[in-house]
Structure 1
């Protein structure tokens, strides 16, 4: 016979499974049913279980020239192209006018940076919670100006601590050239502090933020770097030991091509294209091991391309066109779907994420969900 304890254990497992399949709006209400449900729904393992059952959503981030500010919107469901994005009121983030950098997501959380207001925060779009991050202030002479900001955001898989990488590049106004060295800072959410350290990059190479997709894979964040000859290399940062390493790009890429870095099936991919050509094809290379690349496809002819923006799934690619449209392109059937016009904004980026109950307002212990 089944004992009362076994029955209670089974009941709890069944109830956990049922609740984990519910949408976030329902779970917010059900937290008030009883203390047991409140405790369960706030538990990190339940939050992770619920997030994995949520549908993947598409988030767009672009500048709206009509209202002169950056905007963030989410498509309501997976039927992309049949509905328009629903936009957020970003005033609550304290980065009212210039949330020009959006990195992530990790467990449904984004790192948001406003360059001109010099603010940074973490943001959960599903709950609209945010948490401001104190910024490091480098002690530099007055003639040294801010020039470029490169970011990464990921999870230290050894400690489950969330970290932000900030590479700051400066300009020396006195001699009108880049200021060396860059300032590199790593923020640890658990300690709410930054660590500054030195790393000397090749001054002939530029570090590029990713195409807007999450290029964090298994504890490592990746950036694409290139020189004036489009000689690509990969810069990797291990969030566990907080070390950089440089990896080769595919050796067969012509020097005249353009490239974007994106995630593809839990791997890093380079999307190679040439927007100045009338007949434009795209080559997609996937890194099977660090520094080992395989070309998986060369697409058919794509017209009016300005830049690829990453993948929706393994066979669909987002493309920003010269006519300011966002296109979802099937790399196998060559069919495309128009997802709307975004006002000629070359800063249009897209992200895919799953909604999460992950809390940003309950102290550092809430940040322990494990792998995204």
Structure 2
């Protein structure tokens, strides 16, 4: 199973072996199976690699699972985010090899490039996300810091604000965090939930400290480990 996305309380996952998609409502436990052949194709040339997105088409008053067929050397294996009626993902622009954010409007089926923040220094766009109806992005600042940005007004480049800056160097021991990914894009109670090296973690910006679940991979020694309790979810009708 692979998570494709969520929208209006519905969760979309892909069953990789048979290529089908499952739409699930966790509150009612109702679900619907969609064969892969019924998934809407995005019109991008150079069909070598596929990405998937899930969102709501306001014109058709329906939810859509979209396959984005992209050239292998441009598309990134990152999140596809649904915000303001459009799917968003990160690609390398062929003309100048710059990383950009592309959006696909599900109602009009049109593509546009979304403006990025006015970065203070050299920043490397890593991926996009969505939270509280806002488009968010993760960027590396000189690979010393990880910055999370939030677009307060959709489509307006000047509305980007830096939500949080996370140092790659943790605590006094100068431990390097390595690859991290936000799981929540806003700070709640002074903390933000991350995935660090594939491990669930909670970062406290005030103390520059991390609490991490029982690690599957080696992590900096100064991390405080906590035990996460797995929850098994069963897809079935009530």
With the length of structure 1 as denominator, give the TM-score of the two structures: 0.46
Deviation, structure 1 residue 105? 1.8
| Equivalent of residue 233 in structure 1, options 100, 105, 122 | 100
Deviation, structure 1 residue 282? 1.4
Q: Deviations over 1:141-168 (max 9, x none)?
A: xxxxx85221111112344311111113
With the length of structure 2 as denominator, give the TM-score of the two structures: 0.67
Match of 1:290 in 2: 155
**CA distance 1:230–1:266, change in 2 (3 Å):** farther
Task: Give me the whole-angstrom Cα distance separating, in 2, the residues matched to 1:137 and 1:162.
Answer: 13
| Equivalent of residue 259 in structure 1, options 126, 130, 133 | 126
| Equivalent of residue 271 in structure 1, options 138, 141, 153 | 138
Task: Give me the whole-angstrom Cα distance separating, in 1, the residues matched to 2:217 and 2:3.
Answer: 19
Counterparts in 2 of 1:71-150, with a 5 A limit? 99=1, 101-136=2-37, 147-150=48-51
Task: Give me the whole-angstrom Cα distance separating, in 1, the residues matched to 2:217 and 2:164.
Answer: 31
Match of 1:249 in 2: 116
What SS does structure 2 have at the residue aligned with 1:221? Answer: strand
| Equivalent of residue 314 in structure 1, options 187, 190, 198 | 187
| Equivalent of residue 57 in structure 2, options 156, 171, 194 | 156
What SS does structure 2 have at the residue aligned with 1:299? Answer: strand
More helix by share: 1
Q: Deviations over 1:311-369 (max 9, x none)?
A: 264353333334x422111334434322333468xxxxxxxxxxxxxxx97xxxxxxxx
Contact 2:78 2:90 in 1 (8 A): yes
Task: Give me the whole-angstrom Cα distance separating, in 2, the residues matched to 1:306 and 1:261.
Answer: 15
**CA distance 1:149–1:116, change in 2 (3 Å):** farther
Contact 1:263 1:310 in 2 (8 A): no
More strand by share: 2
Q: Deviations over 1:208-241 (max 9, x none)?
A: 431xxx7222322211223598722111111222
> What is the RMSD computed on CA atoms of the aligned residues?
3.7
Q: Please tell me whether Structure 1 or Structure 2 has the larger radius of gyration of its CA atoms.
A: 1
Task: Give me the whole-angstrom Cα distance separating, in 2, the residues matched to 1:319 and 1:166.
Answer: 27
Q: Deviations over 1:259-317 (max 9, x none)?
A: 12122442111111379x6xx42122222341503334433444323122332643533
Task: Give me the whole-angstrom Cα distance separating, in 2, the residues matched to 1:113 and 1:156.
Answer: 20
What SS does structure 2 have at the residue aligned with 1:113? Answer: strand
Match of 2:223 in 1: none
Match of 1:209 in 2: 78
Contact 1:267 1:286 in 2 (8 A): yes
Match of 2:200 in 1: 326
What SS does structure 2 have at the residue aligned with 1:305? Answer: coil
Deviation, structure 1 residue 258? 5.2
Contact 1:109 1:122 in 2 (8 A): yes
Deviation, structure 1 residue 116? 3.6
What SS does structure 2 have at the residue aligned with 1:314? Answer: coil
What SS does structure 2 have at the residue aligned with 1:136? Answer: helix
Contact 1:204 1:227 in 2 (8 A): no
Task: Give me the whole-angstrom Cα distance separating, in 1, the residues matched to 2:206 and 2:99.
Answer: 26
What SS does structure 1 have at the residue aligned with 2:145? Answer: coil
Larger relative contact order, structure 1 or 2 (CA cutoff 8 Å, min sep 6): 1
Q: Point out 4+ residue stretches in structure 1 off by more than 4 angstroms.
A: 227-230
